[in-house]
Amino acid sequence: MVLPPVSQYHQAKGYGQTPALQRARRPFFIRNTITGLLLLGFTGAVYTYSIMAVKQDDLSDVSMPPPPAENK
């Protein structure tokens, strides 16, 4: 298996960001953060709404079979 080389912008350890990458990302940081928060808010809202609308189902509308006859 051939792996792509680790980008130099993630330092020798292979994770984290070098100062150069942080500088390059700076012009986009605020707008990206806002977009991220908006997306998170939207998915969160959809999730909460659907839970609220459905509520906890007690399954009372499901017809149950008669309880088994007791064995004697």
Partner 1 sequence: MVYSLRFCVKSSPNNYKTDSQIKLRNDNLFHPLSKSPIKSLQERGELIRKFGKCPVCEGLAKENQKRPSYECSDCGIPTHCSEEHYKHNLIEHKLHTCKMLREFNEDMHDLMSGRKMKEFEFPSSQPLDEEVNMLNWDTYLYTRGFPSIDQDRSLRHVSKLLTYPITIGSVLHQNGPYTLRNRLTNEGLKSLTALRTTLHPKQTSVDIKTLRPAETVRIFIVGARAEAQMPLHIYTQLSYLFPTITFHLHFVGPESLLRGTEPHTTHFNHYLSFTWKNSLYHDYHDTIHPFDPYCDAFFLFNPGIGRNNGKELWEKTIKQLLKTKCAIFITGFDENDMKNEIQTIEEDETFEFDWILEPGENEFKSLRRDIDTEDVRIGVYPNWGIFGIRGKRYDVRHYDEEEGAIEIKEEEEWEETEEIKRIGAGGMTKQRIRH
**Residues forming the site for partner 1 (CB under 8 A):** 3, 5-6, 8-9, 11-14, 18-21, 23-24, 26-27
Q: How far is the CB of 23 from partner 1 (least distance, A)?
A: 4
Distance between CA 11 and CA 5 in Å, rounded? 12
Give 27 or 67: the residue with its C-beta nearer to partner 1: 27
DSSP state string for 13-45: TSSS--HHHHHHHHHHHHHHHHHHHHHHHHHHH
Q: How far is the CB of 51 from partner 1 (least distance, A)?
A: 34
